[in-house]
Structure 1
């Protein structure tokens, strides 16, 4: 580490390398914060969280009680132990409160003056943060499972909405109406996500086991339907006709499916080059977002018992990058491109439904059915191996954090 600092000061090394190494170290040392608590406001489970991308200071939460709460994550007390207080909330006394569970909240990507929320009450609401009043509202025929605004769009203001209908709705903030509909799924759409790289590319996941990539500018908008088998056909045995027929039926049923169950989680990597999906078949898959190819990274069993959308997240600025996945009442951390399970974060008393990463300080926030929001922060102490045989570093450190590379700096 000291070698990297000296090399950076001498201009012999790229400052980005040191930043990535420190970001990686901080993620690998995440632990439940002993000094930071988040005020308990929700009366039941918390389904969704979002941290605004401008300052990384304010966080929204939405619960199954219909509440929306806005938190200030900054330590305004300047004390070592502090509680992140709720700045304001849309609760039972608010006339425009959602009637049922709030499934998704999202900040407007470019400033904190607006945020959005969608709910099982079949509505998507656009909120003015300053007045805490809805500026606009979209109503749908079925339950709303998920919505998303593009983090990079400059030429459109479309919100993609996944509902109980098999059609993906695109709502235009400028006109206040649904601009057009994307048809192709056969069952309800459980998750939607815009690419962080291309403003017109959208990914959608459905209960029909399919994941589709769309270019919303085109008339036939569907670009790719992801196929877990990458188009390969299994060879049937010529010795048994019954086995052949059974295998053929299997191929037909699983053709162009991303998972062998409902797909209820989507997340692009921070550079937008890959897409992660999670299904109720207890599998997570990594896809090339340009070619649609299954990269065949093996994450092992990823427990997923959720019947609705599952919100997971990825790191930013690390080497390698990590994915944080709700796993029963824990959060599993995997390396994205190798599939290694790094650690499990334990602290919740019930199932975890959502986690969100704060890239400015490499912090993680999680929520679940125990009504708690937990803060996971980098440890302030260095791990000390008990003996020489335990001095092997986590494989994720090897590229940028090994003692040998530090010495060479």
Structure 2
């Protein structure tokens, strides 16, 4: 009996030959059908080695074989998910018959526990011996070239680089606060930097070559809780903080490159471009030249390139950059007001965007009428620009590098254009991320945020988002909810990755389980 999946594959191949469909379209259709039939795979089981919640997963990029997992109980494990369990079962002892068919961890790093001793009637904490972490492992990632090294970050304020074969720490970077996120660039060819974010405003870059910190990205007003490297530019990194602000950085330039604004949408950008084109046509018809996008466009007499006097409001031409607003009827020349404007440095995360100064009509504010709505927010600063209303739990680029995805603790997903950095207004469903309404864990006087790990298929069409008790499969471009992977974890799902070798999904939950979701084979 021919299985239904083979019939669908044969039909796709016939349509490709008869209708002229491309191989990419046929592959996309087959992948879509396989994703629609994802179910819990009971034949691929991992031994439960973590007693706490699984906080991070990563699959090596070289062979897509070794699965790295970190847990809230400060343990780290590595599994070989392509190992033949039938051969392993024959070599196992009879006492292990209850665990036949489960993947045993190749490497397991225990928690580093500090002992106590008594010295002169005083209880003293001894310095622990070993290489493990003492507190919650918040993030894990493989070295981008091979599986010889992997990186772990923990709440014990350290990022450790491990030798996989020796199971020893080769380098340790100590931070001033619990580490929330750590990542390496998958497209890096000229550096081996590890971006680390802790409960602090600054993001530190760790250099594996020197074993020291090489860069400090300063600009956030709250602690940074998520970050990711760009897949198109090895020097570009995106970070998100606990107040909902997302910033774009370029290591070759000082300061912040851009701040994502959820109110700056594609429609407004298109309207602004159309208005600029109309202004160019009008200027060309009148014989006026566009001034340069620098302060040198203004001559010493306060006149524009066409020789006409600039209006007082036309000097306010920076997109939410100047924290002061012009008061109508103020005294002083335009040159004096430009001189008295507060200087804006790149260290404050500002990207100057000058526009064409327009002439002011008598009795009205024509100088500001030609600006779009997003440019007319008087008195606002860049510090108020936000991508989400609350903490940014996840930041990741799509595999094609054309878009970015961000997830806020309020349950909102947003998609951003990687070229213009505008909100693409994709209507994603509202997500219930945790079963507990309080999404934060209070520890003393500080607030620790539970981050999430998203996954996207290689064709950038399907998004896997962990929620309270299930993994939701969402169309990246339309925002439609395709399916929901549930009845697997006994609690909330914290992280997930996509295995492109088998077109399956691997998820980790608060119950400490790591589960596989794949398309069943029907006879």
Tell me which residue corresponds to 2:30. 22
Tell me which residue corresponds to 2:508. 367
Tell me which residue corresponds to 1:296. 425
What is the CA–CA distance in structure 2 between the aligned matches of 1:253 and 1:195, rounded to whole Å? Answer: 23
What is the CA–CA distance in structure 2 between the aligned matches of 1:213 and 1:322, rounded to whole Å? Answer: 24
In the TM superposition, what whole-angstrom CA distance separates every residue of 1:285-320 from its partner, at most 9, and x where no partner exists? 0011221100011112112344322111111136xx
What is the CA–CA distance in structure 1 between the aligned matches of 2:215 and 2:135, rounded to whole Å? Answer: 26
In the TM superposition, what whole-angstrom CA distance separates every residue of 1:266-300 from its partner, at most 9, and x where no partner exists? 11111111111011122110011221100011112
Correspondent of 2:480 among 337, 340, 350: 340
Tell me which residue corresponds to 1:142. 177
Q: Is 1:324 paired with 2:464? A: yes
Correspondent of 1:88 among 107, 110, 114: 107
In the TM superposition, what whole-angstrom CA distance separates every residue of 1:247-268 from its partner, at most 9, and x where no partner exists? x999879941000111111111
- Which runs of structure 2 are paired with 1:222-237 in the superposition (5 Å)? 222-230=256-264
If each structure's strand is expressed as a fraction of its own residues, which one has the higher value?
Answer: 1
What is the CA–CA distance in structure 1 between the aligned matches of 2:508 and 2:379, rounded to whole Å? Answer: 38
What is the CA–CA distance in structure 2 between the aligned matches of 1:66 and 1:8, rounded to whole Å? Answer: 51
| Structure whose CA Rg is larger | 2
Tell me which residue corresponds to 2:457. 315
Shift in alpha-carbon separation, 1:179–1:269, aligned structure 2, 3 A: same
CA deviation after TM superposition for structure 1 residue 4, in Å: 2.9
Tell me which residue corresponds to 1:242. none
What is the CA–CA distance in structure 2 between the aligned matches of 1:251 and 1:22, rounded to whole Å? Answer: 49
State which drifts further: 75-84 or 211-220: 75-84
- Which runs of structure 2 are paired with 1:246-257 in the superposition (5 Å)? 255-257=384-386
CA deviation after TM superposition for structure 1 residue 379, in Å: 2.7
If each structure's helix is expressed as a fraction of its own residues, which one has the higher value?
Answer: 2
SS of the equivalent of 2:34 reads helix
- Which runs of structure 2 are paired with 1:162-201 in the superposition (5 Å)? 162-201=197-236
SS of the equivalent of 1:17 reads helix
CA deviation after TM superposition for structure 1 residue 11, in Å: 11
In the TM superposition, what whole-angstrom CA distance separates every residue of 1:321-358 from its partner, at most 9, and x where no partner exists? 11111111111110001000111111111111111111
- Root-mean-square deviation (Å): 2.5
What is the CA–CA distance in structure 2 between the aligned matches of 1:324 and 1:8, rounded to whole Å? Answer: 28
Relative to the length of structure 1, the TM-score reads: 0.84
CA deviation after TM superposition for structure 1 residue 105, in Å: 0.6
Tell me which residue corresponds to 2:316. none
Tell me which residue corresponds to 2:301. none
Correspondent of 1:72 among 80, 105, 119: 80
Relative to the length of structure 2, the TM-score reads: 0.66
SS of the equivalent of 1:286 reads strand
State which drifts further: 336-345 or 2-11: 2-11
Q: Is 1:109 paired with 2:144? A: yes
What is the CA–CA distance in structure 1 between the aligned matches of 2:205 and 2:33, rounded to whole Å? Answer: 40
Tell me which residue corresponds to 2:44. 36
Q: How many residues are aligned here? A: 365
CA deviation after TM superposition for structure 1 residue 15, in Å: 2.7
In the TM superposition, what whole-angstrom CA distance separates every residue of 1:99-158 from its partner, at most 9, and x where no partner exists? 001011101011011100000110000000000000100000011000100001001111
Tell me which residue corresponds to 1:284. 413
Shift in alpha-carbon separation, 1:42–1:212, aligned structure 2, 3 A: same
What is the CA–CA distance in structure 1 between the aligned matches of 2:480 and 2:492, rounded to whole Å? Answer: 22
SS of the equivalent of 1:328 reads coil
Shift in alpha-carbon separation, 1:170–1:253, aligned structure 2, 3 A: closer
What is the CA–CA distance in structure 2 between the aligned matches of 1:311 and 1:26, rounded to whole Å? Answer: 22
CA deviation after TM superposition for structure 1 residue 28, in Å: 1.6
CA deviation after TM superposition for structure 1 residue 201, in Å: 1.1
> Post-superposition, which runs of at least 4 consecutive aligned residues in structure 1 deviate over 4 A?
7-13, 78-81, 248-254
Tell me which residue corresponds to 1:406. none
Shift in alpha-carbon separation, 1:370–1:336, aligned structure 2, 3 A: same
